[in-house]
Structure 1
Amino acid sequence: MSKLSQTDWIAAGFRALTNKGPQALKAEPLARSLKTTKGSFYWHFKDVPAFQAAMLTFWEEIATQQIITLLDALPSPEIKLRTLSDLATAPQDEFGGVGAEPAIRAWAKADPRVAEAVKRVDTSRLAHLSGVFKEMGMGNPDLPRLFYAGLIGLQEIAHGDETASATPLATLADLMIALAETD
């Protein structure tokens, strides 16, 4: 087996969080899942809180800046909204994908550090989404909040079936776009 990277450990952390909850974010169970020793964990992270902080930093980057950069490169706000809908309901990847978001939000209810990370992500996402809606000529601040609430709510009720959210969120995006076209 090749040497594990910090990213391998973070991916294992997201899988553990998604499948077993935050109590699984400990060196020993993660090492077992990767078929290695705790020594490898401590080679990359000072301790479990440092590991959890690295997970949150990674999630914040993926969940905001990387998506915003991708969306900003698209030619129209309508395409941005539809692409966001697709990204938000994409199948899980090695970092937990859609399934990680509800797990992170559940974790945030019991951990103030996670709650602060979720708040930063929500604030950043809503600011960007508000800009997309303004590009469509929709300045009402409730509309991006409604879309975002739909996105979060659909992820919450998907219960591991990402495809369950795809059609309703795409429909919501189409409704918002149609509403912008009638203004």
Structure 2
Amino acid sequence: MTTTLTKPRLKVENWIAAGFRALISHGPEALKAEPLARDLGTTKGSFYWHFKDVPDFRFKMLSHWLEHAMVALQSAIDAGGTPTERLYRLADATTAESDDFGGAAAEPAIRAWAQSDPMVAKAVEEIDRRRLAYVERVLKDLDFTNPDFARIIYGAYIGMGTLSATDGRDNKDALSTLMAAILALQDA
């Protein structure tokens, strides 16, 4: 008696996860049906079963990232707390992608992709605007009036995310140190 092993049917999430792996490893030029199908051990037909075309796939991949970024930010806002607690929560107000979808390397890869794709740039601008507004509100609640502090903190967050993606180190402690230094300025 011969048994045939069948592979589980791929879902949209499997393709999107493969897209993030490809984006992180090889850049946006790797977001094509054939290399993604090879990565998943399937055919291009499976890709086209799930997506109308490559632009549709890229749109859904980007939508996945943006949705997770918005949910993470809203969760941080909903958690409330003192202004100081909310300031320290900036790292939680960011995309908490699972390793299946690129983990900490996902956002720097998205940001790099945004340099060459207007649709991606628009999504990054939207999440940056919302996150920056979050930091500005928290700093206002702490009686900081200089708007440059919000840009400094958020810029440091973006830079530390990129650094983490390249060296694999967690920069939460470094970001906390920056927050403590800024808060110390308030008390000075």
Q: Is the shorter-chain TM-score for this pair beyond 0.5, marking a shared fold?
A: yes
Question: In the superposition, relative to structure 1, how do residues 173 and 86 fare at CA in structure 2: closer, same or farther (>3 Å)?
Answer: farther
State the distance in 1 between where 2:169 and 2:42 align. 34
- Which amino acid is the alignment partner of residue 133 of structure 1? L
- Which amino acid is the alignment partner of residue 74 of structure 2? T
- Which amino acid is the alignment partner of residue 69 of structure 1? Q
Moved over 4 A (4+): 86-92
Instruction: Tell me what 1:73 maps to.
Output: 78
State the distance in 1 between where 2:56 and 2:147 align. 37
Instruction: Tell me what 1:179 maps to.
Output: 185
Offset from partner CA, 1:6-30 (integer Å, 9 cap, x none): 1221111111101111111111111
Which runs of 5 or more structure 1 residues have no equivalent in the other structure? none
How do residues 6-155 of structure 1 correspond to structure 2 at under 5 angstroms? 6-63=12-69, 65-74=70-79, 75-85=81-91, 93-155=99-161
Structure 1 residue 158 displacement after superposition: 3.3
State the distance in 2 between where 1:168 and 1:53 align. 34
Instruction: Verify the 8 A CA contact 1:12 1:30 in the aligned structure 2.
Output: yes
Question: After the TM superposition, which of the residue ranges 80-89 and 16-25 deviates more from structure 2?
Answer: 80-89
Structure 1 residue 67 displacement after superposition: 1.4
Question: In the superposition, relative to structure 1, how do residues 143 and 156 fare at CA in structure 2: closer, same or farther (>3 Å)?
Answer: same
Larger Rg, first or second structure (1 or 2): 2
State the distance in 2 between where 1:90 and 1:161 align. 18
1:167 lines up with 2:173 in the alignment: yes
- Which amino acid is the alignment partner of residue 55 of structure 2? P
Question: In the superposition, relative to structure 1, how do residues 177 and 88 fare at CA in structure 2: closer, same or farther (>3 Å)?
Answer: farther
Q: Which has the higher contact order (CA 8 A, sep 6+)?
A: 1
Instruction: Tell me what 2:163 maps to.
Output: 157
Instruction: Verify the 8 A CA contact 2:76 2:93 in the aligned structure 1.
Output: no
Question: After the TM superposition, which of the residue ranges 8-17 and 70-79 deviates more from structure 2?
Answer: 70-79
- Which amino acid is the alignment partner of residue 21 of structure 1? G
Question: After the TM superposition, which of the residue ranges 18-27 and 75-84 deviates more from structure 2?
Answer: 75-84
Q: How many residues align?
A: 181
Structure 1 residue 36 displacement after superposition: 1.5
State the distance in 1 between where 2:139 and 2:184 align. 12
State the distance in 2 between where 1:86 and 1:178 align. 22
The TM-score normalised by the length of structure 1 is 0.87
State the distance in 1 between where 2:76 and 2:92 align. 11
Offset from partner CA, 1:153-178 (integer Å, 9 cap, x none): 12223353342533321211222333
Question: In the superposition, relative to structure 1, how do residues 70 and 91 fare at CA in structure 2: closer, same or farther (>3 Å)?
Answer: closer
Structure 1 residue 123 displacement after superposition: 1.0
